[in-house]
Amino acid sequence: MNIIVTCEHGDNTVPARYRELFNGRDRLLNSHRGYDRYALFIAKSMADKLSARLFFSTVTRLLIDLNRSPHHPKLFSSLSGGLGADEKKRIFTKYYLPYRRDVESRIAAAASRETATFHLSVHSFAPVISGTTKKADIGLLYDPSRLREKALCIQWQKSLQKTAPLLRVRRNYPYLGRADGLVTYCRKIFSPVLYVGVELEVNQKTMKQYEKQHHILCEILVSGLRSGLFQR
């Protein structure tokens, strides 16, 4: 099986050309709206442990969101949305297209050999969003109509509950697995036989609680994932 790990919101870097656009916006850039804190660390660690190909972006999602479809109304943020059409096209061509094409090409190459791909897209979420406290440590997002994804996530959840019973692991929470995103886009292109896509959501509060034990949490996540990937 071809295994890839992606991280669309790895950091909050602002390219030099657009720094003026973000003047005085440090607080926003450092929030969950700017990037997914800890996500890139998790993605790198899990990719290494799984011997998987890693794709990631460090450009802030406030410039362009690589986890949105090309025509999604929130592809550009309130800060970058006011840019002219030519500048938006420049951003789209330089940062969005290469990333999405690289991921899609990797999956397509495997599919051409009739090899299935497991795609893990890694994200993190803020413990409190719009005044609502999120009641989970780990979220496993998938499309319930794609049976391999569903079975994998059920087994992954069971394994995590057994090895780390204090972790609150929920499926299709804090978001639905069929919401707009890179994984959802790939499902439209590749059949369930050749593509299995799951989004991992980790609570930023949970990562903070683990402090210097982040690698342990990643090992727990990988161990549970393996039980789902290689179940008979």
Q: What is the pLDDT of residue 111?
A: 98
Beta strand residue intervals within 52-194, DSSP E: 53-56, 117-125, 128-129, 132-133, 138-141, 169-171
The model's pTM is 0.96
Q: Do residues 86 and 38 touch, judged by C-beta distance below 8 A?
A: no
Mean local confidence (pLDDT), 111-129: 97
- Write the single-letter amino acid at 55: F
pLDDT at residue 114 tops 80: yes
Burial of 117 (0-12, 13-18, 19+ CB in 10 A): buried
Q: Which band of pLDDT confidence, cut at 50, 70 and 90, is reported for residue 230?
A: confident
Position 179, amino acid = A
Write down how long the chain is. 232
Report pLDDT for 232: 52
How buried is residue 65: exposed, middle or buried, by Cβ count under 10 Å (0-12/13-18/19+)?
buried
Residue-range domains of the chain with CATH: 2-229 (3.40.630.40)
Name the CA radius of gyration of the chain, rounded.
Answer: 17
